[in-house]
């Protein structure tokens, strides 16, 4: 049975789920909730925490984007090869989430007032991932195989390059990582697709 992903017509918190499913060659049905549908209230009231994304796999219904990502990572075998790798992947993903949370705060609350401060701090945040990738010869955040955390980092890198085109200029390992992951056949096709290109990154039009 096909997965069903319900979300707004933006990349937002659903995009790391979409990217993972695409790369892993999995199909899903996308249910798009427009702003008007959402404001009407019925859909919001039907959601466990009053928010999207929602993910359905047969009779399982999940909310919370990170719970959805981890569920799929376990199911698709992209959550490390043992307990140790799993713990490291969790740690890396939490670090990517920290960056994503800063990005979301900037986009939705501070875009017109704190951009310069954000740009000053960004190299410091990216340098940490640069070091991690330089030290891991496997080519991924953890180990020798892609994990769900890698999709999240790739999206953050792509989003930050839209925000600040020079963001990766001083980070050769991040550039190589971005290029390598973007060249994976399913990811390449997805990044070049209308579905990806025509979907806004964020709900308020800022990027």
Binding site for ligand GSH (CB under 6 A): 12-13, 44, 51-53, 64-66
Q: How far is the CB of 99 from ligand GSH (least distance, A)?
A: 15
Distance CA 102, CA 153 (A): 14
Q: Which residues pair with 6 in a beta bridge?
A: 31, 54
Q: What are phi and psi for residue 5, nearest 5 degrees? A: -115, 125
- Provide the minimum distance between the beta carbon of 65 and ligand GSH in the complex, in angstroms, as a whole number: 4
Count Cβ neighbours within 10 Å for each residue of 187-205 and write b for 16 or more, e otherwise. Answer: beebbeeeebeebebbeee
Q: Which is nearer to ligand GSH, 109 or 170 (CB)?
A: 109
Q: Is 95 helix (H, G, I), strand (E, B) or coil?
A: helix
Q: What is the CA radius of gyration of the chain?
A: 17
d(CA 4, CA 184): 24
> Cβ of residue 108: shortest distance to ligand GSH, in angstroms?
9
Shortest distance in whole angstroms from residue 25 CB to ligand GSH: 24
Q: Least distance (Å) from ligand GSH to the CB of residue 3?
A: 16
* Nearest residue (beta carbon) to ligand GSH: 51
Q: Which is nearer to ligand GSH, 50 or 77 (CB)?
A: 50
Closest CB 133 distance from ligand GSH, rounded Å: 25
Sign (positive or negative) of CA dihedral 135, 136, 137, 141: negative
| Residue 76 · residue 20 · CB < 8 Å | yes
Question: Smaller CB distance to ligand GSH: residue 22 or 70?
Answer: 70
Q: Are 30 and 190 in contact (CB under 8 A)?
A: no
Maximum Cα–Cα distance for the chain, whole Å? 51
Tell me whether residue 24 or residue 66 sits nearer to ligand GSH (CB atom): 66
| Residue among 13 and 178 whose Cβ is closer to ligand GSH | 13
- Taking the least distance from each CB to ligand GSH, the nearer of 79 and 177 is 79
């Amino acid at each position: 049975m096909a997965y069903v992903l319900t979300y707004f017509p933006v990349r937002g918190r659903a995009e790391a789920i979409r990217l993972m499913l695409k790369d892993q060659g999995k199909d899903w049905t996308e249910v798009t909730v427009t702003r008007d549908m959402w404001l009407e209230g019925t859909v919001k009231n039907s959601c466990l925490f009053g928010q999207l994304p929602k993910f359905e796999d047969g009779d399982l219904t999940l909310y919370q984007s990170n719970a959805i990502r981890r569920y799929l990572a376990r199911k698709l075998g992209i959550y490390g090869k043992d307990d140790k790798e799993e713990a490291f992947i969790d740690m890396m993903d939490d670090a990517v989430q920290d960056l994503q949370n800063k990005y979301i705060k900037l986009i939705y609350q501070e875009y017109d007032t704190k951009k310069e401060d954000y740009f000053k701090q960004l190299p410091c945040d990216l340098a940490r991932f640069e070091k991690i990738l330089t030290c891991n010869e496997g080519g991924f955040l953890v180990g020798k195989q892609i994990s769900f955390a890698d999709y999240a980092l790739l999206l953050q890198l792509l989003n930050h390059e839209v925000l600040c085109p020079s963001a990766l200029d001083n980070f050769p390992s991040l550039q190589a990582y971005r290029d390598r992951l973007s060249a994976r056949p399913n990811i390449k096709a997805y990044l070049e697709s209308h579905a990806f290109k025509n979907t806004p990154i964020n709900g308020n039009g800022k990027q």
